[in-house]
Chain A
Amino acid sequence: AQSVTQLDSHVSVSEGTPVLLRCNYSSSYSPSLFWYVQHPNKGLQLLLKYTSAATLVKGINGFEAEFKKSETSFHLTKPSAHMSDAAEYFCVVSDKAAGNKLTFGGGTRVLVKP
């Protein structure tokens, strides 16, 4: 069965400093992996996705993530945080064995300090 663990429930960074959100997954098959962002009282928006092509994936708003099969990780990074990055971030896994369903991590809430 597929599963996702987001290692930090909260991350606090200063504006202009790097952001690292950690995600580990478990999957029986070659997974597809996604990062979604949810701003307060909003729906979820896709940041980026990995679908078995390049292991380094670039997304919107300067975010990128690297798929590391040996570590079963898909960590999200951004070199310089902006105040608008304050939100909750979800790591998501999906594989064929799960019938195209998404499994969400518990979320990481990011606070950006001025």
Chain B
Amino acid sequence: DAGVIQSPRHEVTEMGQEVTLRCKPISGHNSLFWYRQTMMRGLELLIYFNNNVPIDDSGMPEDRFSAKMPNASFSTLKIQPSEPRDSAVYFCASRRLAVVTDTQYFGPGTRLTVL
């Protein structure tokens, strides 16, 4: 299995630009999660989906952030407009079952730098 795939691995952009991060979960997994990791705040859950439906987006910092999952094999996290404080590593994770005991598998992350 290829694991969770994220693209791009690195993104450098200027303040005010739109940024789109992409994630392909493991085939057969029904839950997908987006996390953000910063030195100051550690790992934070932004949003998660079960069966392509957003379940909890309470972690999305503000309206500049949006996430979609148009099908079971693809999700995007968009930031528009981007700001320097959005600089972080963004991880996508997927899980086969929608139960607390099941393991989440993480992608390699996208390192975003907003200048």
Contacts and interface: CB of A to CB of B under 8 A. Distances in A.
Contacts of B109: 42-43
B105 to A, nearest CB: 8
Contact of A49 (B45, B55, B103, B108): B103
A44 interface: yes
Interface in A37-77: 42-46, 49, 51-52
Interface residues of A, number: 24
B100 A100 contact: yes
B18 interface: no
Nearest to A107: B42
A113 interface: no
Interface of A: 32, 34, 36, 42-46, 49, 51-52, 90, 94-96, 98-102, 104-107
Interface string B39-72: 0001101001000000110000000000000000
Given A101-B45, A101-B48, A107-B42, A43 B108 contact: yes
B108 A90 contact: no
